[in-house]
Amino acid sequence: MKLNEIQDLIKFVAKSGVSEVEVETKDIKIIIKTPASKSKDLPVVQQAAPVQTAAPVVHQIAAPVAETKALEVKPAAVADDAKYVTIKSPMIGTFYRSPSADKPPFVNVGDDITAGQTVCIIEAMKLFNEIESDIKGKIVKVLVNDATPVEYDQPLFLVDPS
C-alpha cells in the first residue's frame, strides 16, 4: 500500500465518523482508530507489518463532521417495517444510487428486484463496488441519501419480499 493511499484512507475514516477501520493485505495490516471524544486528537494509526516506504505517515485534522439528527421512530412504523427485509452495506464507503451523475438510479422505490441485481455502488478507496441484492422483492424505501458515507452493516434499502 502506498503512502498516498494510506493518507487517503485516514482522511476517509476521519470524514466518515467511523471509530475503527482495519485493512489487511498480504504485505501489510493497518488499523486506524479515531478517538471516541470530540476533541481535536488525531486518528491513531497502527501498522502491524512493514511498509515498503520510508516516508512517515502524515496526519491531517479533518473538519468536524456535521452531526445528523436522530430520526424519531414511532412504534407503528417499526411494526410496519418488521415485515421487510433490509439490504445492508457490506463495507464502509460512499453510497451512490447510480453509476454516474448523468445516469438513472439502479433502483427506485416501487421497483421489482431479483437476486443478483445491482442495487447501488459503494466507493471505497477509489474502487467502485457494485452491490447486488441477495433477495427477490420490491424496493419499499431507500434509507441512504446519494453520495453520502455509509458504514459496514448500515441498512441501505427496505425490500418487501412478498
pLDDT in tens, 29-60: 777 777 654 444 455 555 555 545 444 555 45
The pLDDT of residue 86 is: 93
The pLDDT of residue 113 is: 95
Decide: pTM greater than 0.75: no
Nearest to 1, CA basis, from 49, 34, 62, 58: 49
Could you tell me what percent of the chain has a pLDDT over 90?
45
The pLDDT of residue 14 is: 73
Sheet holding 148-150, edge to edge: 127-132, 118-124, 93-96, 148-150
State the cell numbers at 31. 488499523
How far is 15 from 9, CA to CA, in rounded Å? 10
- Mean pLDDT score of the chain, rounded to an integer? 77
Nearest to 116, CA basis, from 101, 97, 135: 135
Walk me through the domains of the chain, giving residue ranges and CATH numbers.
Answer: 1-65 (no CATH), 75-160 (2.40.50.100)
